[in-house]
Structure 1
Amino acid sequence: MSDRPTTAYKVLTAEQMATLEQGSFAGAPIDLADGYIHLSTAAQLTETVDKHFAGQSDLHVAAVDLGALGDAVKWEESRGGQLFPHLYGGPLLLETVIAYGPLTRADDDSVALPVAG
């Protein structure tokens, strides 16, 4: 039994979100360059947004069911030695997304997680 999260998050621009809503998203330029789709856990999400999306507006967050992705998810060391979920071998499918919405911040300035609705 793993103590790893069962949900990860993908930060998307409005254009990327529109692509995902059509059924699948092949990845952002950095994903395509690295050969996998970068995801973050809930605990990593705010730092990811602050570091890689600073100053950008009209961002969206998609909650991804890691169980639905199976062995395509690899946990790999990245920023500060943390293990990040990376999706290999194909696009992010809308059917594996359990919630999504515009990026908003909570009162403590952390990124609010999308809620299925």
Structure 2
Amino acid sequence: MSAADTVAYKILTGEQLARLLADGTFAGAPVDIADGYIHLSAAPQAQGTLDKHFAGQDDLHIAVVDLTALGDAVKWEVSRGGALFPHIYADLPLSAVLSHAPVSRDDAGTLQLPH
């Protein structure tokens, strides 16, 4: 696993982020609960996830997730376009969130990932 594979990104609505911060854990969005795991994106995948699944939505945030803190709960599995995506087979604890920020784009419309 390379250093690039040690963090992934979770796009959250404002309500979902508030729940994570208040409860200290996040059980997942409705799609996560339906699928049985929490969907994350690697850095190169985050923009595609945002554009495909969150188009037209406001009050979105992106959380930086430390995959090493989640251990064996993380599985890299084939998803959109045959690419491997990180999935969490557990709740997301706030302790694994390195940072979070509102979704923002640069002048070209490119997603700016928080550090």
Q: TM-score, normalised by structure 1?
A: 0.93
Question: What is the one-letter code of the residue matched to 1:19?
Answer: R
> Between Structure 1 and Structure 2, how many residues are aligned?
113
Is 1:95 the equivalent of 2:95? yes
Q: Distance in 1 between matches of 2:110 and 2:60?
A: 14
SS at match of 1:5: helix
Q: Distance in 2 between matches of 1:94 and 1:108?
A: 32
Counterpart of 1:60 in structure 2 is: 61
Is 1:31 the equivalent of 2:37? no
The residue correspondences of 1:6-45 to structure 2 (distance < 5 A) are 6-22=6-22, 23-45=24-46
What does the per-residue CA deviation read over 1:73-94, in whole Å, with 9 as the maximum and x for residues that have no partner?
0000001110000000x21111
Q: Distance in 2 between matches of 1:24 and 1:107?
A: 34
- CA RMSD of the aligned region, Å? 1.0
Please, which runs of 5 or more residues in structure 2 have no aligned partner?
A: none
Greater percentage in strand: 2
Question: What is the one-letter code of the residue matched to 2:15?
Answer: E
What does the per-residue CA deviation read over 1:16-69, in whole Å, with 9 as the maximum and x for residues that have no partner?
000011211100000000000000001000000000000001100000000000
Percent identity reads 60
Q: TM-score, normalised by structure 2?
A: 0.94
